[in-house]
Amino acid sequence: MRYDAAMTDDEWMAIAIAEADAAARHADVPVGCVIVDENGTELARGHNRREVDQDPTAHAELVAMRAAAVVRGHWRLDRTTLYVTLEPCAMCAGALVNARVPTVVYGASDPKAGAVDTLFRLGDDERLNHRFQARGGIQAEACAERLRSFFQALRADGQK
């Protein structure tokens, strides 16, 4: 999908938030993602699908990266920006390194599993063969509120 190349981080994050809402509709943790190339063209989007697919690797970032690689016809996702509503975990941050994604923009920090800024800094670890820039806090409250509401409802239902 083609968008105005001048779209802001907030506008792209709004698309990722819509994907997070899609995850919640099928009882997955509400995390959404969108990947954009250097021309402002959306390559792919995704949301958590662990529950619906019964796949522990079906995080929003991996779903979107797999789809973007198909669109590109190659596993390298250089010259892209990945927008995600929650700071990537170690698995996803490792995939970002391996896919050569240069820029990651995330909403809410993840104090339990964040591997971009909070617990680990995989994106700028000089021991790895690729590094990425990260910017956090974009629409952080809107992203965090979805997560709070989701887990609050699970606890109220006795599930967590």
CA separation for the pair 67, 72 (Å, rounded):
9
Q: How far apart are CA 33 and CA 23, in angstroms?
A: 11
Place 2 in a pLDDT band, splitting at 50, 70 and 90. Answer: very low
What average pLDDT does the chain have? 94
d(CA 6, CA 9): 9
Q: Catalytic site residues? A: 61
pLDDT tens column, 11-62: 999 999 999 999 999 999 999 999 999 999 999 999 999 999 999 999 999 9
The tokens of 154 are what?
């699970």
